[in-house]
Structure 1
Amino acid sequence: MIQDTISDMLTRIRNAYLAKHETVCILNSKINRKITSILKKEGYIDSFNVSISSDRELEVKLKYLGNQKKPGITNLKRLSSPGLRLYSNYKDIPPVLNGMGVVILSTSKGVLTDREARANKVGGELLCSIW
């Protein structure tokens, strides 16, 4: 059984990009659906939907740029872990590549990006950073 589903999701996406796969299957959970919807909204992936073969998996269609198939995501990093939770006030949310990347937070208003959290003036647990 997987203890940290977010780390598992990020690792599967990272490995799929390294292997140049078109799609990747990840565990279907509420937090993973919210994170993948943020990835789609920010333009890092093409699409995602519940897998036809199993309703326990999400099928994520990865995005590549140009003819050389450059990955849409350069780096995925898990910030908070089950053993060491990292929390931040909205004023202290770390910028990623001077605003070019995205930090995903779990807040009292749901899973938000760093820009949305600053706009809503709400802090929370730093889940991952993406650029």
Structure 2
Amino acid sequence: MIKDDISDMLTRLRNANMVRHQIVEIPKTKMTLAIAKILKEEGYILKFEEFEENKRNFLLLCLKYNGSKRKPILTTVVRISKPGLRIYVNHKNIPQVLGNLGIAIISTSKGVITNHTAKNLGIGGEVICYIW
């Protein structure tokens, strides 16, 4: 059984990107669904779909590539807050990723949002990961 769904999701994305897979299957939870929505909104994946198999729910994420050499759009995924060490920031210390070229996904009281949205709303939370 998977103890850390977020790390599992990010590792599956990273591995699928390295071998240039088109689709990656991820177990569905509220958090993985929220992260998938953010990845779709920010343009890191083409789309995602939910499906059920043997009474278990999964997400299918369609990865995005550039050009004929299929260069990945999603180049780096870094997990920041882990189950053993949670990393929290207030609204004054929200991180900028790669000079605002990447995003930080933050779990806040308003839901799971990007660092740009959190900065605009003036709220902090737990920094889940950096993506660029």
Structure-2 separation of matches of 1:32 and 1:84: 19
Structure-1 separation of matches of 2:110 and 2:34: 12
Structure 2 residues not aligned, in runs of 5+? none
- Per-residue CA distance 1:27-56 (angstroms, 9 max, x = gap): 100110000000000000000011354551
Structure-2 separation of matches of 1:52 and 1:107: 29
Structure-1 separation of matches of 2:52 and 2:33: 16
What displacement does 1:66 show?
A: 1.1
Is structure 2 residue 42 aligned with structure 1 residue 42? yes
Partner of 2:109: 108
Q: Secondary structure at the match of 1:92?
A: coil
Structure-1 separation of matches of 2:92 and 2:41: 23
Partner of 1:126: 127
Partner of 1:14: 14
Structure-2 separation of matches of 1:35 and 1:19: 22
Identical pairs, percent = 48
Greater shift, 49-58 or 66-75, is seen at 49-58
Q: Secondary structure at the match of 1:14?
A: helix
RMSD: 1.0
Aligned partner letter, 2:92: K
Aligned partner letter, 1:129: Y
- Indicate the structure with greater helix content: 1
Q: TM-score, normalised by structure 2?
A: 0.96
Structure-2 separation of matches of 1:64 and 1:22: 9
Structure-2 separation of matches of 1:116 and 1:126: 13
Q: TM-score, normalised by structure 1?
A: 0.97
